[in-house]
């Protein structure tokens, strides 16, 4: 009985070590991330989306929200699946440019976010996501000491929902790709 227990224990430990080694072998590092098949697959999706000519292009130009202006572009494929979502948002002091790429199933797979604030404060985030919206790899390049808002807090996982969410304070017209207005421009409040 003791021999069986020892063999069973040794066998379970061996399997555990094998699984641990397998998990570590798949972990992305600064040295191996670009060669990862998962990252290469996401780059292929990115290249595919960049080559597409979109028939469905919806745009929004929003402004008037406490000095915040925002421009949005949503590109969908022929099946009306979102494939690219571009967003520029800025105030008089801060600028963000956000590019999101989605796979054919509409899942977020790549994001690149650039920011600029004042003189010499810039940041560039690059994210690669698996098909469960988990970050596979993240790169951050920052210059200056500005404190940036974490872009992972407001990722447009569902770009159709995000695109449809129009702030009540928006004052500029919003139109679909064919020019059909989504909302009429909102007049500023009257002053007494």
pLDDT of residue 1: 56
Give 79-82 contacts, CB < 8 A, sequence gap 24+: 80/56, 81/105, 81/106, 82/106, 82/159, 82/160, 82/163
Backbone φ/ψ region at 178: left (φ over 0), alpha (ψ -120 to 50), beta:
alpha
**How many CB atoms neighbour CB 54 within 10 A?**
16
Tokens of 168: 């009540």
Q: How confident is the prediction along the chain (192 residues), in pLDDT tens digits per residue?
A: 555 555 444 544 445 444 444 444 479 998 999 999 999 999 999 999 999 888 788 888 887 677 778 889 999 988 889 999 999 988 888 898 999 999 999 899 999 999 999 888 999 999 999 988 899 999 999 999 988 888 887 788 888 888 888 777 765 544 444 444 443 333 333 444
- The answer to whether the CB of 127 falls within 8 A of the CB of 135 is yes
| C-alpha–C-alpha distance, residues 105 and 31, integer Å | 30
Half-sphere exposure of 150 (CA within 13 A, CB side): 3
With a CB cutoff of 8 Å and minimum separation 6, the contacts of 106 are: 81, 82, 159
**DSSP collapsed to 3 states, the chain:** CHHHHHHHHHHHHHHHHHHHHHHHHHCCCCCCHHHCHHHHHHHHHHHHHHHCCCCEEEEEEEEEECCEEEEEEEEECCCCCEEEEEEEEECCCEEEEEEEEECCCCCEEEEEEEEEECCCCEEEEEEEECCCCCEEEEEEEEECCCCCCCHHHHCCCCHHHHHHCCCCCCCCCEECCCCCEEECCCCCCCCC
pTM: 0.73
User: Structural domain boundaries of the chain?
Assistant: 54-183
The backbone torsions φ and ψ at residue 145, rounded to the nearest 5 degrees and listed phi first, read -115, 10
């Amino acid at each position: 009985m003791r021999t069986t227990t020892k063999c069973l224990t040794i066998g379970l430990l061996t399997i555990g070590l094998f699984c641990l080694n397998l998990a570590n072998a798949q972990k992305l590092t600064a040295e191996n991330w670009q060669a990862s098949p998962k990252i290469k697959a996401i780059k292929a999706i990115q290249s595919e989306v960049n080559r597409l000519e979109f028939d469905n292009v919806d745009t929004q130009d929003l402004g008037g929200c406490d000095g915040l202006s925002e421009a949005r572009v949503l590109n969908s494929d022929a099946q009306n699946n979102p494939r690219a979502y571009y967003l520029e948002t800025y105030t008089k002091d801060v600028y963000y440019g956000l590019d999101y790429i989605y796979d054919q199933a509409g899942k977020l797979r790549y994001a690149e976010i650039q920011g600029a604030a004042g003189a010499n404060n810039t940041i560039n985030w690059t994210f690669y996501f698996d098909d469960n919206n988990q970050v596979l790899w993240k790169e951050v390049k920052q210059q200056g000491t500005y404190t940036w808002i974490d872009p992972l807090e407001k990722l447009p996982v569902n770009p159709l929902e995000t695109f449809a969410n129009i702030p009540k304070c928006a004052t500029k017209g919003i139109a679909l790709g064919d020019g059909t207005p989504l909302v009429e421009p909102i007049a500023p409040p009257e002053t007494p």
